Chain A
């Protein structure tokens, strides 16, 4: 069974940093692109960042470009999201999600992890 388990969320002050992790199991991790999608509680979904299966190519939404960095460790079956210079508007539940192919992410997402909550506040 394919499983994705996020961790690393929590409370951080504006301007601070946080690293999210997503542990994957049940599939050949390096063969699939992965993405991070966030959702402000009670609001809609926003794609944040994606990475190819090899990790060589990364993509970012304009709202996080230059502040967030996506990476993966295929030897550990783990996806990361390094979030720097956090703002109040970055507060959300962050989901990791698996792409059906290994190249550029941009297809459908299945499955999704359970999400990890990031709160940005003083």
Chain B
């Protein structure tokens, strides 16, 4: 059971917009810690998609955007493409746990 809660799956048709939620608590997202997002294509290592809640690394299309409010964060993907089919993970810090980071359980995005 992950500290950050994501829906197991979402889907959308090509060209549509989908959002993936990441719900935390007062010891992580709600405490003001940043949220980051990763994309993991089948058989590959995770790749940074969004950092610091809403910042895109160079090379990441502007179809991907992130936001944060209260104890939750969201990843939005517009103009859905077949190549976006992957697993997506949110990541933050939790002050109630020893160590460093906590991840969401991951969301499988299916492009219909």
Q: Which residues of A contact B (CB under 8 A)?
A: 35, 37, 44-47, 49-50, 59-62, 65, 95, 100, 104-115
Contacts and interface: CB of A to CB of B under 8 A. Distances in A.
- Chain B CB within 10 Å — which of A44, A59, A110 has the most? A44
A111 B48 contact: yes
A112 B44 CA distance: 10
A93 to B, nearest CB: 9
Contacts of B52: 108
B101 A47 contact: yes
- Chain A CB within 10 Å — which of B44, B46, B97 has the most? B46
Contacts of B98: 59-62, 65
B36 to A, nearest CB: 4
Contacts of B44: 114
A52 B74 CA distance: 29
Contacts of B89: 44-45
Q: Closest 9 interchain pairs by CB?
A: A110-B48, A108-B36, A47-B101, A108-B51, A112-B45, A45-B103, A106-B100, A44-B106, A59-B99
A106 B97 CA distance: 12
Contacts, number: 77
Given A44-B2, A45-B106, A106 B101 contact: yes
B104 interface: yes
B41 interface: no
Nearest to A58: B99
B68 to A, nearest CB: 14
A104 B45 contact: no
A45 B48 contact: no
Contact of A112 (B36, B46, B102): B46
A112 B38 CA distance: 11
A35 B36 CA distance: 15
Contact of B93 (A95, A106, A115): A106
A105 B100 contact: yes
Interface string B76-112: 0000000000000101010001111111111000000
